[in-house]
Amino acid sequence: MGKRVAITGVGMTHQRSARPDVTGQELINEAVRMALDDAGMTRKDIDAIVIGNMDHFEGINYVDTWSVDGSGGLMKPIMKLTTGGTTGSTVAMGAYYHVASGLFDRVLAIGWEKNSESDTTGAIITAFDPFWDRPIFAGAVAGLAMEATAYMQETGATEEDAAYVAVRERTHALNNPYAHLHINMTIADVMNSPYLSWPVKMGDMCPRTDGACALVFTSEDAVADTPRKPAWILGVADRHLWAYTSDPYLDFKTGEGWFPAMQKSSQDVYDKVGITDPLEQFDVAELYLPYSFAGLRYMESLGFCAKGGAPELTRAGTFDMGGKCPVNPSGGVMSSNAIGATALIRVAECAWQIQGRAGERQVPDVKLALATGFGGCFWSDVLVLGKEKPEKARG
Rounded CA separation 341/343 (Å): 6
Q: What is the CATH number of domain 5-119+209-225?
A: 3.40.47.10
Count Cα neighbours of 211 within 13 Å in the Cβ-side half-sphere: 29
pLDDT above 80: residue 1 = no
Nearest Cα residue to 266 out of 279, 253, 255, 248: 279
pLDDT tens-digit series, residues 272-312: 999 999 999 999 999 999 999 999 999 999 999 999 999 99
Predicted TM-score of the model (pTM): 0.97
Using pLDDT thresholds of 50, 70 and 90, give the confidence band for residue 140. confident
Domain range annotation of the chain: 5-119+209-225, 129-206+234-386
**Antiparallel, parallel or unpaired: β 368-375 and 379-386:** antiparallel
Interatomic CA distance for residues 47 and 286, integer angstroms? 28
Name the 3-class secondary structure at 170: helix
Give tens-digit pLDDT for 6-41.
999 999 999 999 999 999 999 999 999 999 999 999
User: Where does the pLDDT of residue 56 fall: very low under 50, low under 70, confident under 90, or very high at 90 and above?
Assistant: confident
Shortest CA distance to 376 belongs to which of 250, 290, 252, 287?
290
**Backbone region of residue 331 per phi and psi (left: phi > 0; alpha: psi in -120 to 50; beta: other values):** left
Closest CA to 388 of 216, 198, 138, 220: 220
pLDDT for residue 119 is more than 60:
yes
Q: Are 5-119+209-225 and 129-206+234-386 equal in CATH topology?
A: yes
- What type of residue is 383? L
| 137-140-141-146 Cα dihedral, nearest 10 degrees | 60
CATH superfamily, region 129-206+234-386: Thiolase/Chalcone synthase (3.40.47.10)
- Of the chain, the end-to-end C-alpha distance in Å amounts to 11
